[in-house]
Chain A
């Protein structure tokens, strides 16, 4: 099996034997829900304070959590929205997993609080997942396995973050807050059929945060080609190839979105058009929601997709890896969509704040 040694030569990435994943029993998404906080910090505010306004802006504005919000509260609301669309009995939920890099506790699960709040305790698996921005999609892969093996009827996977950025760092322009929850269940109840998935991971030093450190660091030159572009394009291409598909088979594509430029360039490399990317590209309006980014993009797509539409979703997490999912919308989606707020309803609810208020709300002001 030949792998590219120079990762920036995308054309040279040789595709190995496809490692496409499919469970024994067909499964799908039986519910989905999103959450975005109300506050917005325009990127030009960060530029005003740190670059005399001269910095190029990677997005228009980002979402900021209120003083009383964190990954627990945001996961509770997204999960309640997913349950409202699913109409299932909470006793049948066999797992609730939350992927994030901003869990409120280093030790004490986010997932047990969320499970308690929705009344799903005590007979379920509950744990927090960690893989930078891939933590939520990793939980989704595991949920497919648990439901697809028949060990449980439903499993919930959440990707949610209140991302951190060092004051003045490039990440401070984009580190946003938000995410999504998905309920995996039997195929015959699905709003969205999960056709197949694939995962592509390597050890790549592009981004990290050590225990106790308040802000993450990034390995400058590793950020783009060797990390984001290599993993996203390889995962997407290998999955499409294994299924005998091309970009033309998909009405929508959602890629992890750390800024506006990266997903647009990855889409170009893969052969997806602006039109295929439009519905799921939320980063200009809410920022990079890390473990939530690809997943909340998918919720915005599901808010407008029609029966028969195919959706390709590819996450990316630093460290590094990508999960790719090939999805197909069923007629049930249209019936259930209006039972919870749409992702756009949350994006439209906005209050702009300035850098000073942002510094106070994010605990960057130490007194």
Chain B
């Protein structure tokens, strides 16, 4: 089940590709082909910048199957610059340092692997925005 689902969703998972409503310009993620704002059809592909901020978060200590190796880790609601809120794992950050309002950016990382011999799933996570000199 996981392999076909991850394959089908690869554009949104690897690169945060959603949709834009032709009628009201609302940016949509994840893509659903119907605008949640105006209810019209919305199928134009839109690549999000990946920039956003932590809207809220929690720290997972008792991880679901497949993620045990990574615990503890933070899961956040990230408010993207373009509007939508996405749920994603945070990475490259210590859980104690996560704060509401923290600027973050999308990176493509390993989500989980199906054991030592199975397929590896990749997808978006968010990290604290890299400081530029």
Q: Enumerate chain A interface residues (CB-CB to B < 8 A).
A: 38, 66-70, 72-73, 76-77, 104-105, 113, 116-119, 338, 341-342, 344-346, 348-349, 351
Residues of chain B with a CB closer than 8 A to A73's CB = 107-110, 122
Interface contact A117-B14, CB-CB below 8 Å? yes
Q: Is B96 an interface residue (CB 8 A)?
A: no
Interface contact A72-B15, CB-CB below 8 Å? no
Interface contact B70-A345, CB-CB below 8 Å? no
Interface contact A77-B107, CB-CB below 8 Å? yes
Q: How far is the CB of A33 from chain B (nearest CB, A)?
A: 12
Interface contact A119-B15, CB-CB below 8 Å? yes
Q: How far is the CB of B108 from chain A (nearest CB, A)?
A: 5
Interface contact B15-A117, CB-CB below 8 Å? yes
CB<8 Å pairs between A and B, sample of 12: A66-B92, A68-B70, A68-B91, A70-B120, A72-B110, A77-B108, A116-B10, A117-B122, A119-B15, A338-B132, A346-B130, A349-B131
Report the separation of the CA atoms of residues A73 and B94 in the bound assembly, to the nearest whole angstrom.
Answer: 20
Report the separation of the CA atoms of residues A351 and B107 in the bound assembly, to the nearest whole angstrom.
Answer: 18
Report the separation of the CA atoms of residues A113 and B15 in the bound assembly, to the nearest whole angstrom.
Answer: 11
* B69, B92, B108, B132 interface centre (most CB from chain A within 10 Å): B108
Interface contact A113-B122, CB-CB below 8 Å? yes
Report the separation of the CA atoms of residues A303 and B69 in the bound assembly, to the nearest whole angstrom.
Answer: 37
Q: Enumerate chain B interface residues (CB-CB to A < 8 A).
A: 10-11, 14-15, 17, 47, 69-70, 91-92, 94, 107-111, 120, 122, 125, 130-133
Q: Write the chain B residue with the least CB distance to A35.
A: B107
Known: A67-B69, A119-B15. Contact between A72 and B130, CB under 8 A?
no
Interface contact B133-A345, CB-CB below 8 Å? yes
Q: Out of B10, B17, B69, B133, name the residue touching A344 (CB < 8 Å).
A: B133
Interface contact B120-A67, CB-CB below 8 Å? no
Residues of chain A with a CB closer than 8 A to B109's CB = 66, 68-69, 73
Q: How far is the CB of B98 from chain A (nearest CB, A)?
A: 14
Report the separation of the CA atoms of residues A346 and B47 in the bound assembly, to the nearest whole angstrom.
Answer: 25
Known: A116-B14, A117-B15. Contact between A341 and B130, CB under 8 A?
yes
Report the separation of the CA atoms of residues A196 and B19 in the bound assembly, to the nearest whole angstrom.
Answer: 45
Residues of chain A with a CB closer than 8 A to B94's CB = 351
Known: A73-B107, A73-B122. Contact between A342 and B133, CB under 8 A?
yes
Residues of chain A with a CB closer than 8 A to B70's CB = 67-68
Q: How far is the CB of A243 from chain B (nearest CB, A)?
A: 34
Interface contact B132-A345, CB-CB below 8 Å? yes
Residues of chain B with a CB closer than 8 A to A68's CB = 70, 91, 109-111, 125
Residues of chain B with a CB closer than 8 A to A346's CB = 130
Interface contact B122-A72, CB-CB below 8 Å? yes
Residues of chain B with a CB closer than 8 A to A351's CB = 94
Report the separation of the CA atoms of residues A349 and B94 in the bound assembly, to the nearest whole angstrom.
Answer: 13
Q: How far is the CB of B118 from chain A (nearest CB, A)?
A: 11
Report the separation of the CA atoms of residues A70 and B17 in the bound assembly, to the nearest whole angstrom.
Answer: 22
Report the separation of the CA atoms of residues A145 and B48 in the bound assembly, to the nearest whole angstrom.
Answer: 34
Q: How far is the CB of A248 from chain B (nearest CB, A)?
A: 30
Q: Out of B10, B14, B120, B130, name the residue touching A105 (CB < 8 Å).
A: B120
Residues of chain A with a CB closer than 8 A to B133's CB = 342, 344-345, 348
The 5 nearest A-B residue pairs measured at CB = A68-B109, A117-B14, A68-B110, A76-B108, A38-B92
Interface contact B130-A117, CB-CB below 8 Å? no
Interface contact A119-B131, CB-CB below 8 Å? no
Report the separation of the CA atoms of residues A66 and B92 in the bound assembly, to the nearest whole angstrom.
Answer: 8
Report the separation of the CA atoms of residues A74 and B12 in the bound assembly, to the nearest whole angstrom.
Answer: 18
Residues of chain A with a CB closer than 8 A to B10's CB = 116
Residues of chain B with a CB closer than 8 A to A348's CB = 131, 133
Residues of chain B with a CB closer than 8 A to A338's CB = 132
Q: Write the chain A residue with the least CB distance to B107.
A: A77
Residues of chain A with a CB closer than 8 A to B111's CB = 68
Residues of chain A with a CB closer than 8 A to B120's CB = 70, 72, 104-105
Interface contact A66-B15, CB-CB below 8 Å? no
Q: How far is the CB of B12 from chain A (nearest CB, A)?
A: 11
Q: Write the chain B residue with the least CB distance to A367.
A: B69
Report the separation of the CA atoms of residues A341 and B105 in the bound assembly, to the nearest whole angstrom.
Answer: 13
Residues of chain A with a CB closer than 8 A to B130's CB = 341, 345-346, 349
Report the separation of the CA atoms of residues A252 and B126 in the bound assembly, to the nearest whole angstrom.
Answer: 36
* B69, B70, B109, B133 interface centre (most CB from chain A within 10 Å): B109
Residues of chain B with a CB closer than 8 A to A345's CB = 130-133
Report the separation of the CA atoms of residues A83 and B34 in the bound assembly, to the nearest whole angstrom.
Answer: 31
Report the separation of the CA atoms of residues A351 and B94 in the bound assembly, to the nearest whole angstrom.
Answer: 10
Q: Out of B11, B15, B132, name the residue touching A341 (CB < 8 Å).
A: B132
Residues of chain A with a CB closer than 8 A to B17's CB = 119
